[in-house]
A and B are shown apart, each in its own frame.
Chain A
Amino acid sequence: MVTTGVETREVRTARGGGGGPLNVAAGSAWAGALEAALDLLAVATQDGRLHWINAAWTQTLGWTLDELRSRSYFDRLHPSDRARTRHALAEHAAGRAASTVVHRVESKAGTWVPLVWTSRAPSSDGFLFWTASPLQASKALASPFVELAEQVLLAGHWQIDTWRRTIRLTPTASQILGVTGPDQEMPLETMWSQLRAAQRPDLEAVLRDAMDGAALDALVTNGREGADKGLIRIVGLPDDGGAFEGPELRDPESDAGPRTVSGLVLDVTAERERERARGAREAEARVAADRRAALLRLSETDAKSFSSLYEAYSRAGCDYTGLEAGGVYVRVGSGLQASPPRNETMSVRMRQQLERTLVDGSPTFWTSPVGDGEVRQVLLAAPIRAQFTLRGVLAFFGEAPFAHQPASDLEFVVLAATALGRAIETLEASRRTSYQRSLFEGLFRQTPDGIFLEDVRQRRVLMVNESLCRMLGYARDEMVGRKTGFLYCREQDFVTLSGAARRPAPLELSLRTREGAELPVELVSTEINDDRGQPIAVMRHVRDITQRQAMETIKQEFIAVASHELRTPLTATLGSLSLLKEISGDLPDDLAELVDLACRSGERLRLLVDDILDIQRLEGGRLPMTRVGLDLREVADEAVRLNASMARHFEGEFVVSGPSCHVSADPRRIQQVLTNLLSNASKHAPLRSRVRVEVWVESGYACCAVADQGPGIPESFRGRVFDKFTQAEASSVRKTSGSGLGLAITKALVEEHGGDIEFECPSTGGTTFTFRLPLVVEPRLHESLTSKQQEGAA
Chain B
Amino acid sequence: MTGPRVLIIDDDEDVRAIVRLSLVQLGKFQVLEAKDGHEGVRRCVEDRPDLVLLDLMMPDMDGLDCLDEIHARIPDAVPPVLLLSARAPPIERNLDRIHSVVRKPFDPVKLVEVVREVLKP
Contacts and interface: CB of A to CB of B under 8 A. Distances in A.
Interface stretch (A471-479, A576-584, A736-744): A576-584
A571 B18 contact: yes
Given A560-B87, A563-B86, A575-B18, A568 B26 contact: no
A568 B18 contact: no
A570 interface: yes
Interface string A119-134: 0000000000000000
Contact of B86 (A568, A575, A578, A602): A568
Interface string A555-569: 000001001110111
Contacts of A613: 87
Interface residues of B, number: 22
Given A579-B25, A624-B90, A574 B17 contact: no
B105 A570 contact: yes
Nearest to B15: A571
B90 A575 contact: no
A583 B24 CA distance: 11
Contacts of B68: none
B56 to A, nearest CB: 9
A297 interface: no
With a 10 A CB-CB cut-off, give which of B15, B86, B87 has the most chain A CB atoms. B86
Contacts of A606: 105
Contacts of A567: 86, 104-105
A793 interface: no
Contacts of B39: none
B105 A571 contact: yes
Contacts of B87: 560, 563-564, 613
Given A564-B86, A564-B87, A576 B18 contact: yes
A666 to B, nearest CB: 13
B57 interface: yes
B15 A579 contact: no
A579 B21 contact: yes
B14 A568 contact: yes
Given A563-B86, A564-B87, A575 B57 contact: no
A361 to B, nearest CB: 83
A573 B25 CA distance: 16
A576 B18 CA distance: 6
Contact of B108 (A569, A579, A602): A579
A567 B106 CA distance: 10
B14 A569 contact: yes
Contacts of A575: 18-19, 21-22, 105-108, 111
A572 B109 contact: no
B47 interface: no
B108 A564 contact: no
A613 B107 CA distance: 20
Contacts of A578: 107-109
Nearest to B55: A568
Interface string B41-79: 000000000000000010000000000000000000000
Nearest to A623: B88
Nearest to B104: A571
Nearest to A575: B18
Classify the secondary structure of A's interface with B: helix
A572 B26 contact: no
A296 to B, nearest CB: 83
A163 to B, nearest CB: 148
B84 to A, nearest CB: 8
A59 B14 CA distance: 127
B109 A568 contact: no
A579 B14 CA distance: 14
A602 B87 CA distance: 17
Contacts of B89: 560
A569 B11 CA distance: 12
Contacts of B26: 579, 582-583
Contact of A579 (B12, B22, B86): B22
Interface string A579-603: 1001100000000000000000010
B109 A582 contact: yes
Contacts of A563: 86-87
Nearest to B56: A564
Nearest to B18: A575
Contacts of B18: 571-572, 575-576, 579
Contacts of A576: 18, 21
Nearest to A569: B14
A564 B107 contact: no
Interface string B17-42: 11101100110000000000000000
A602 B108 CA distance: 14
A539 to B, nearest CB: 42
A568 B12 contact: yes
B99 to A, nearest CB: 19
Interface string A532-570: 000000000000000000000000000010011101111
Contact of B14 (A564, A572, A583, A624): A572
Contact of B105 (A560, A574, A582): A574
B108 A570 contact: no
Contacts of B105: 567, 570-571, 573-575, 602, 606
Interface string B87-103: 10110000000000000
Contacts of A573: 105
Interface string A85-98: 00000000000000
A582 B57 contact: no
Interface in A300-338: none
B37 to A, nearest CB: 16
A471 to B, nearest CB: 34
With a 10 A CB-CB cut-off, give which of A563, A578, A602 has the most chain B CB atoms. A578
B29 to A, nearest CB: 14
Interface string A420-431: 000000000000
Contacts of B57: 564
Nearest to B90: A624
Contact of A574 (B19, B25, B107): B107
Nearest to B22: A579
Contacts of A571: 12, 14-15, 18, 86, 104-106
A47 B13 CA distance: 150
A568 B104 contact: yes
Contacts of B19: 575
A277 B42 CA distance: 129
A572 B17 contact: yes
A268 B15 CA distance: 135
B111 to A, nearest CB: 8
Nearest to A582: B109
Contacts of A570: 104-105
A578 B90 CA distance: 28
A606 B108 CA distance: 15
Interface of B: 12, 14-15, 17-19, 21-22, 25-26, 57, 86-87, 89-90, 104-109, 111
The list of the 7 closest CB pairs from A to B, nearest first, reads A572-B14, A575-B18, A567-B86, A571-B105, A564-B86, A571-B104, A570-B105
Interface of A: 560, 563-565, 567-576, 578-579, 582-583, 602, 606, 613, 624
Given A602-B105, A613-B87, 5 more contacts: A568-B86, A568-B104, A571-B15, A571-B104, A582-B108
24 contacts: A564-B57, A564-B86, A564-B87, A567-B104, A568-B15, A568-B104, A570-B105, A571-B15, A571-B18, A571-B106, A574-B105, A575-B19, A575-B21, A575-B22, A575-B106, A575-B107, A575-B111, A576-B18, A576-B21, A579-B25, A579-B108, A582-B25, A582-B26, A582-B109
